Structure 1
Amino acid sequence: MSTAPTTRPTSAPARTNGDVSFWYAADGLPARRPALDGDTDADVVLVGGGYTGLWTAYYLKRADPSLRIVVLEKEFAGFGASGRNGGWLTAALPGQFRRYAAAHGVQAATAMQQAMFDTVDEVIAVAAAEGIDADIRKDGELTVAVGEVQHRRMLAHLPEQRAAGWGEDDLVTLGAAELGDRVRVSGARGALWTPHCARIQPARLVRGLAEVVERMGVRVLEGTEVTAIRPGAAVCRQGTVRAPYVIRAMEGFTATLPGHRRTWVPMNSSMIVTEPLGPGVWDEIGWRGAELIGDEAHAYCYIQRTADDRIAIGGRGVPYRFGSRVDAHGETAEATQRQLAGLLHRLFPAASSAGIDHAWSGVLGVPRDWCATVELDRSTGLGWAGGYVGHGVATTNLAGRTLCDLVLGRDTDLVRLPWVGRKVRGWEPEPLRWLGIRGLYVAYRAADRREDAGLGRTSLIARAADLLSGR
């Protein structure tokens, strides 16, 4: 039941900082599963106990119950991005339509987009069939234009989105008054709404999925760090798992493997969540549904109304740490907390008096061309999937189904999607990588400030940053 916000100063740091994420607060962290206790054999070994590894295990075991499948996880299933994300089950492409189209043609890129539409419903259907209660509610996604510059930019991007397969029913233009009937965002001039998005409680989804695959006969081994991946084997501190197929499913933690520091950058994303908001606050905001909300800023945000009547908002804090280092504890700097709280109060002034209950951070994987990929080298048995650029909640399911077909040698539409086998060059060596990424986000924030101050057009700083970054 909702309670009224307290008068706790909103400049104060969150009551809880880190502890993986807020999504584990209600149910507690899961009990640890056994670790690997020596050498063993399998048919398929999946390195990483997040959505990618678990979805792949699920579809493989469902297709062939006789397969011996092992999932290896350093911490616990859902410790990484799968248990820390913003809870957006969205059909947004994990990359750029124009890049997929340039390499494989518009038809192939459009097929990728349609596959993402279908994936949102697939996740919802599996969760229902398997009894996974993850607070799923499919009310769609609102991309809100705050201010005139964002509004013009939103409308300018619309033809490209139509060309990418977003039809009139897939993407609906809302004016300020129509948006206000759904949710009142301060300064908003309009929005785009799509039905292809659902709110989820991410930790409950990954916890439920791990329990389902275990019941199916998959071995999920936790507290088991993989130190090397090679053809036919995943080498761990406690022993070696030998298998014809070894699939890397580590997303932002890929950089911790030897030889992969420049494969995908571990990009840091941070979130805060308010205490439960009372009915009076929700009446002022007018947000009665469970739409996910983002904006058209260059340093964009992502917002959820949680099932227990809080607002969770996220964005880039310290986006990258030198040498592709990964902060596993999830603690968030107070400056980042203040930045996110300030944005929350600007968009929803009615929530300004609410205290911040929890702050946390996590890493996502970003390839150099900002497009995800799935691969299986049949000559070595090595495969991988990831680089979801922040859209992994749905895309991991598509990756799992695709890896299943690749491992089983099926000739399906999924294995012909343009992200399969995509070759991407690595990121630049340090210090160029650190300077480039940190400079990129300094530029985007500067561009947002100039536009908010009345620039009247999309900042040239942002245009230059887009060209340099390859976004």
Structure 2
Amino acid sequence: MGQGRAGYAGVSFWLEDAGEPLLPRPSLEGEVEADVAVLGAGYTGLWSAYYLLRKDPSLRVVILEAEVAGFGASGRNGGWCSPNISVGPAELVRRFGRRAARETLLAARGAVDEVGRVAEEEGIDARFRKGGVVRVARGRHELPAVRAAWGALSALGLADGCRVLGVEELARRVRVERAEGAFFDPQGAVVHPGRLVRGLARAVERRGAVIFERSPVVDFVDGPGPVLRTAKGEVRAGAVVLAGEAYLSRLRKLHRMVLPVYSLIVLTEPLPEESWAEIGWENHECLASFKLSVDYLSRTPDGRILFGGRGAPYRFGSRIRDGYDRHEPTHAMLRESLIDWFPQLSGVRFTHAWGGPLGMLRDWMPAVSFDPASGVALACGYVGQGVAASNLAGRIIADLILGRDSSLVRLPIVGRRVRKWEPEPLRWLGARYVQRALERLDERGRRTGRPPTGRSLAERLSRH
């Protein structure tokens, strides 16, 4: 807490450019009654409230936010509206079978279009642009991953419109240094995260929800008449929704359920037209390589390049602090990486750098649940793929709380048992080991041209 009026705009470029003052709404003081109480005014909490009120406008919905709407990952992410969840097609098949994997991916793709549809319907200036996703093989060692991506979707009958791109075909879309090919999926989109989350907050208020800001939940009580408690008040409800993503780790009861992992971002100044003529990238595709240690790029509406990735260290005890949003060694690495992708931008000015925690469950897969006996609904664990997946989760939570049967509530992400993370110091040792080992594997691949085997301990621990 304690960001202050000026501080909220400094959280990320997206909140700075949200198009409205970031004046906090009133805080909760005293006791309030509701039908549904929601922890978190990010995408998951807001989408849950939105669909609950669409399906039953008579509901009293109260949302408690620790800072301001969009303060967390919803206002800080890379702008991807991804057609995937954090577990890939092949791994979904291995865990749940072909049919469940196909249904999950179709639902994830549908969520991309649903985000765009609702933004248009509600008059939210989310800058939604559906240009697809291009994953680039930057070196021979990443080419097998291109073929694997094609094969996994083909095996599920989901490769319509997808393409394996050769070097020349890729260059007609975007010119990336050391590219050996790419895989294109037309289903993805990019958004302006800040404008989407702030607009969604206004949309749920128009439908009758009440949002209290600067009201961090310190505990929850389950059972008949569940309660969300803050330092100055509480909300008693028929059901509560825990939608705090990485920040759920701050609650004692959920501390070992969600691992907060920091993802960091750098942003360039708006590029001149001559630079874009050299780069291409006219269709605003989401870009990434096949690095094990993760990178992601997007082109902003005003002509900047965003480059994000992992690398910031996991903090002992799953600590989350404002100071961890900036980690200069990682931000420097990201700036260097962008120039490595586009050497013609050497000397470009970087105007922003930020970051924040994302939530990771023990098996890397999102979880959505509602227990009528306890009155507690939960959705979290997007591992950085939450812009569209949170929309899917919000629709599922609405159906679960309202007792409505649908194809969505039968997806394998729903109602599953979530294994806890190990206690410290094992959690810290394991997280740091995997981070460093994946970076070493990426470096070895670049140096030798040999792809990862998939058999190393780090790859097996992080298999998704």
Shared fold (TM-score greater than 0.5)? yes
Give the Cα–Cα distance (whole angstroms) in 2 for the partners of residues 394 and 156 of structure 1.
Answer: 23
Task: State the Cα deviation string for residues 308-343 of structure 1 (Å, max 9, x = none).
Answer: 111000001314111001123563222111100111
1:137 to 129, 133, 139: 129
> How far is the alpha carbon of 1:60 from its aligned partner?
0.5
Partner of 1:217: 208
1:186 to 177, 186, 197: 177
Letter in structure 2 aligned against 1:219: V
Structure 1 position 384 matched with structure 2 position 375: no
Instruction: Kindly indicate whether the alpha-carbon contact (under 8 Å) linking 1:95 and 1:388 is maintained by their aligned counterparts in 2.
Output: no
Task: State the Cα deviation string for residues 373-417 of structure 1 (Å, max 9, x = none).
Answer: 100001111110010111100000000000000011001111111
Partner of 1:203: 194
> How far is the alpha carbon of 1:156 from its aligned partner?
3.2
Give the Cα–Cα distance (whole angstroms) in 2 for the partners of residues 122 and 182 of structure 1.
Answer: 26
Give the Cα–Cα distance (whole angstroms) in 2 for the partners of residues 396 and 389 of structure 1.
Answer: 11
TM-score between the two structures when normalised by the length of structure 1 = 0.93
Letter in structure 2 aligned against 1:466: E
Instruction: Kindly indicate whether the alpha-carbon contact (under 8 Å) linking 2:134 and 2:184 is maintained by their aligned counterparts in 1.
Output: yes
2:139 to 144, 147, 151: 147
SS in 2 for 1:440: helix
Partner of 1:334: 328
Structure 1 position 45 matched with structure 2 position 37: yes
> How far is the alpha carbon of 1:120 from its aligned partner?
0.6
SS in 1 for 2:322: coil
Q: Aligned pair in 2 of structure 1 residues 331, 87: CA closer, same or farther (>3 Å)?
A: same
Give the Cα–Cα distance (whole angstroms) in 2 for the partners of residues 17 and 351 of structure 1.
Answer: 30
Give the Cα–Cα distance (whole angstroms) in 1 for the partners of residues 101 and 221 of structure 2.
Answer: 32
2:53 to 53, 58, 61: 61
Partner of 2:422: 428
In structure 1, list runs of 5 or more residues that go unmatched: 1-15
What is the correspondence of 1:406-421 to structure 2 with a 5 Å cutoff? 406-421=400-415
Q: Aligned pair in 2 of structure 1 residues 152, 353: CA closer, same or farther (>3 Å)?
A: same
TM-score between the two structures when normalised by the length of structure 2 = 0.94
Partner of 2:277: 283
Structure 1 position 23 matched with structure 2 position 14: yes
Task: State the Cα deviation string for residues 401-459 of structure 1 (Å, max 9, x = none).
Answer: 00000011001111111111111211111111111111111111111111111x13223
Structure 1 position 469 matched with structure 2 position 462: yes
The size of the alignment, in residue pairs, is 454
Give the Cα–Cα distance (whole angstroms) in 2 for the partners of residues 272 and 418 of structure 1.
Answer: 35
Partner of 1:11: none
SS in 2 for 1:77: coil
SS in 1 for 2:30: coil
Give the Cα–Cα distance (whole angstroms) in 2 for the partners of residues 199 and 146 of structure 1.
Answer: 22
> How far is the alpha carbon of 1:93 from its aligned partner?
1.9
Partner of 2:4: none
Partner of 2:3: none
Structure 1 position 166 matched with structure 2 position 158: yes
Partner of 1:12: none
Partner of 2:393: 399
> How far is the alpha carbon of 1:164 from its aligned partner?
4.0
Q: Aligned pair in 2 of structure 1 residues 329, 41: CA closer, same or farther (>3 Å)?
A: farther
Name segments (4+ residues, structure 1) moved above 4 Å.
Answer: none
Give the Cα–Cα distance (whole angstroms) in 2 for the partners of residues 266 and 224 of structure 1.
Answer: 21
Letter in structure 2 aligned against 1:62: R
Greater relative contact order: 1 or 2 (C-alpha under 8 angstroms, separation 6 or more)?
1
Letter in structure 1 aligned against 2:450: R
Letter in structure 2 aligned against 1:243: A
Give the Cα–Cα distance (whole angstroms) in 1 for the partners of residues 339 and 8 of structure 2.
Answer: 20
1:118 to 96, 100, 110: 110
Structure 1 position 127 matched with structure 2 position 119: yes
Give the Cα–Cα distance (whole angstroms) in 2 for the partners of residues 24 and 345 of structure 1.
Answer: 26
SS in 1 for 2:118: helix
Partner of 1:355: 349
Alpha carbon RMSD of aligned pairs, Å?
1.8
Give the Cα–Cα distance (whole angstroms) in 1 for the partners of residues 145 and 197 of structure 2.
Answer: 36
Partner of 2:287: 293
Give the Cα–Cα distance (whole angstroms) in 1 for the partners of residues 435 and 21 of structure 2.
Answer: 33
In structure 2, list runs of 5 or more residues that go unmatched: 1-6
